[in-house]
Amino acid sequence: MKPRITVIGSLNMDMVIQIDSFPLPGQTVLGGNLDYIPGGKGANQAVAAARLKGDVALIGKVGTDAFGQVLLDNLLKNGVDVSAVKRENVSSGVALITVTPSGENQIVVSPGANSLVNADFVQEHENTIRSAQVLLLQLETPLAAVKRAVELAKEAGVLVILNPAPAQALPESLLNQVDVLTPNETELSILSGVPVQNMVEVYTASRILLEKGTKCVVTTLGDKGAFLCSPNINVLIPGYSVKAIDTTAAGDSFTAALAVAVAQGKPLPKAVKFANKVGALTVTKKGAQPSLPLLDEVEKYPFKEGSA
């Protein structure tokens, strides 16, 4: 049986320009061609999980514009159930992304229809949440919707994975219902309220979140891997050496892979190791959803541990 995963989150059209270096304030730089690529953290994670053989449903909203139809068509093409994606008479979400030759990116998001995903809309799709093994969420939709979704999931015994991006402070009443939190170092610092610049500080910040009630914190560390922190396990799971082309969807693919592996019953260290592989393979290609690997690609790739 395929692992059943419900994703609640954003759908955006990514507008991507390749640049040599990020502009300084007030500076104009010339870039390459403009590419339109389906994205949004919710859609990225749904597609990533589906390509890893998950049975995936997405709850979210798009506009009635041309972008909205493209976003829906792309989800369907990838095998994602979009029966809980509603079209609203507004603009679809858009992300403006610049990417340097080293694969670093800067992103500005205009939420559009994503901002209309509220608690009542989530409640309408209660059955889609309750029937899942894992509920996967991010923070590109209103927090009230995230809170209600988590409440419904916990009532039904569904495991909750929260990717806290874009970063913002979260109430303890939400953190203490999260089974697995997947921040990067910046997000970990904002959530914990302490600096995160080395492994000791990663551990300290993770323990603060455990004290707030989160069951497990998995902090992504780029090519260094991920740090797994729970009441019984504190371990760095090494990353894999690859040539980074574009890091845009690495966090999304990592979190989706973790959700698939956990839903399959893998213990957390093995689930994180699998997620590291998927995240590493993602950065070897351009674009958000086009870079998300198929399970067959992950299984056949000759991974080597260690930073590139």
Task: Determine whether the annotation assigns residue 291 to a binding site.
Answer: yes
Is the backbone of residue 266 left (phi > 0), alpha (psi -120 to 50) or beta? beta
Task: Determine whether the annotation assigns residue 12 to a binding site.
Answer: yes
Task: Determine whether the annotation assigns residue 14 to a binding site.
Answer: yes
Task: Determine whether the annotation assigns residue 198 to a binding site.
Answer: no
Catalytic option among 65, 81, 179, 252: 252
* Residue appearing with tokens 């990663």: 202
Instruction: Name beta bridge partners: 61.
Output: 86
Task: Determine whether the annotation assigns residue 43 to a binding site.
Answer: yes
266 vs 187: CA distance, rounded Å = 26
Residues 6+ apart with CB under 8 A from 120: none
226 vs 237: CA distance, rounded Å = 5
13 vs 22: CA distance, rounded Å = 21
Q: Is residue 268 a contact partner of residue 262, using CB atoms and an 8 Å limit?
A: yes
Q: Computed over its alpha carbons, how large is the radius of gyration of the chain?
A: 18
Task: Determine whether the annotation assigns residue 35 to a binding site.
Answer: no
Decide if 65 is catalytic.
no
Task: Determine whether the annotation assigns residue 225 to a binding site.
Answer: yes
Task: Determine whether the annotation assigns residue 100 to a binding site.
Answer: no
Task: Determine whether the annotation assigns residue 68 to a binding site.
Answer: no
Task: Determine whether the annotation assigns residue 300 to a binding site.
Answer: no
10 vs 115: CA distance, rounded Å = 9
Task: Determine whether the annotation assigns residue 127 to a binding site.
Answer: no
166 vs 176: CA distance, rounded Å = 19
Residue positions forming the annotated binding site: 12-14, 40-44, 140, 184, 220-225, 246, 248, 251-252, 276, 282, 285, 287, 291
Binding residues for K(+): 246, 248, 282, 285, 287, 291
Binding site per annotation, positions for substrate: 12-14, 40-44, 140, 252
- Give catalytic residues, as residue numbers: 252
